[in-house]
Amino acid sequence: MTEKKTVLHVGIDLGTSRSSISASNGEKHVVDSYVGWPLDMVAKKVLKKAVLIGREAVDNRPMLDLHRPLEQGLIKDGSDKDEAAVRELLWHLLSLVGVARETRNGMKVRAVVGVPAEALRVNKQHVRKAMQDAVDNLLIVSEPFAVAYGLEALLHTMIIDIGAGTTDFCVMNGRLPSEEDQRTLTQAGDWIDEQLSRLMRERYPEARFSVHMVREWKETSSFVGQTKNPVLVTVPVNGKPTQLDISQEMRQACEGILPPLVESMLDLLSRVQPEYQERVRNNVIVSGGTGLIRGLGPRLEQDLAAVGGGKVRVVKDPVFVGSDGGLSIAMDAPDSDWEKLSG
């Protein structure tokens, strides 16, 4: 007699910057998408671990061969180390929700994983390959679709999911979005970091700062339009901690994503059947960590005014919105569907 395995459903949002997991046992976790291996025996002795993941890896980066294995939301291809890093990240996420490595505690794990809207078939195959030993069944879904499903915004809605590596657009028409309903831009959070770094180097050539510092400044102080409070940061300048006002640079870097973002939004809107365009304009949902840029929602509404007006809703807690959506899909799919995906 075979014992029926307990089934654990999980939704995973593999992000360039952060990855989150939501599980049917109620566990939810988010980790920075960094994986590091100790550089040498000394580092291994100090760190007492074979591999470090997430914030722990970032904090100990001088002692690590540090990898951020996802680029523009996709597994970097061609580097064994990056592929191994993705596997480590996935196993770590699964361990956080109670799935033991190798044995999986005897559970059957069914996962839904989000990938960027315009991921090529082969990118999806890479995800499948990376996860083949970690889960029993896997369903790959476009990230904005997972967000839409989780928010139950499946009809006449536009999702704009602004992450670190990509900005994904998806118009939901009550059917699985086709290629024409989706767009992916590479102007997203990382792009803003690069612009901000460049602008700061131009204005403060003597200042010393890292990409990790820039990322933190953006996450706490990004804005478009006007701000009442100046953005002040402290960095070493010629060795002395110095406070700098980077408000102008922050605004310029953040507003840099607006032209392609607005163009893609209006382009996709123009392709919606005319009778539904107004409904979609009034149901624009901005999600993702970079979607939290202050003033972004009102600014997009200004641009929508040029085509008849609309409403933009920003998801206030975007961390788990993708993985929660994935979990909803996982739990809604019946056993018969999952059985088709065991290959």
Partner 1 sequence: MANFDRLKRRLVQDLVQENVDLIRGHVRPPRRRRQRFRFAGALALLLPALVLFGSSGLVSTLSVAANPPRRGAAAAGELRPSSSLPGRPAAIAAPTSSVAVASPARTPGAEPAVDASVFPLAIRKIAIDAGHGGDSLGTRTPSGLLEKDVTLDIADRLRRILEDGKSFQVLMTRDSDRAVSLEERAAYANRMGADIFVSVHVNWIGNREARGVETYFLGPTDDPFLTRLAAAENRDSGYSLADMRPLLERIYAGVRQDKSRKLAEMVQASLFRSLGKVNPRMEDRGVKSAPFIVLLATQMPAILAEVSCLSNEEEGRLLAKPLYRQYIAEALASGLRSYAGFAQGIAEKGI
- Distance between CA atoms of residues 160 and 321, nearest Å: 12
Q: Which stretch binds partner 1 (CB under 8 A): 47-55, 68-76, 190-198, 233-241?
A: 68-76
Q: Which one, 92 or 183, has the nearer CB to partner 1? A: 183
**Please, which residues have CB within 8 angstroms of residue 336's CB and are 6 or more apart in sequence?**
none
CB of 164 to partner 1, least distance (A): 14
Q: How far is CA 182 from CA 5, 83, 166, 328, in A?
A: 38, 27, 12, 21
CB of 337 to partner 1, least distance (A): 4
Q: Which one, 229 or 273, has the nearer CB to partner 1? A: 273
Q: How far is CA 55 from CA 30, 172, 212, in A?
A: 10, 35, 11
Q: Which amino acid is at 265?
A: M
Q: Which stretch binds partner 1 (CB under 8 A): 41-49, 88-96, 152-160, 287-295?
A: 152-160
Position 321 contacts partner 1 (CB under 8 A): no
Structure-block tokens of residue 339: 């059985």
- Distance between CA atoms of residues 195 and 174, nearest Å: 37
**How many binding residues for partner 1 (CB under 8 A)?**
43
Position 245 contacts partner 1 (CB under 8 A): no
- Distance between CA atoms of residues 179 and 121, nearest Å: 12
Q: Which stretch binds partner 1 (CB under 8 A): 5-13, 17-25, 33-41, 150-158?
A: 150-158
As a three-state string, the secondary structure of 34-52 is CEEEECCHHHHHHHCCCCE
Site string for partner 1, 101-120 (x = CB under 8 A): -----------------x-x
Q: Which one, 185 or 231, has the nearer CB to partner 1? A: 185
308: left (phi over 0), alpha (psi -120 to 50) or beta: left
Q: Which one, 207 or 262, has the nearer CB to partner 1? A: 262
Position 100 contacts partner 1 (CB under 8 A): no
Helix H or strand E segment including 216: helix 211-221
Position 176 contacts partner 1 (CB under 8 A): yes
List contacts with partner 1 (CB under 8 A): 71-72, 74-78, 118, 120-122, 124-125, 128, 138-141, 145, 149, 152, 154-155, 174-176, 178-180, 186, 263, 266-267, 270-271, 273, 329, 332-333, 337, 340-341, 343
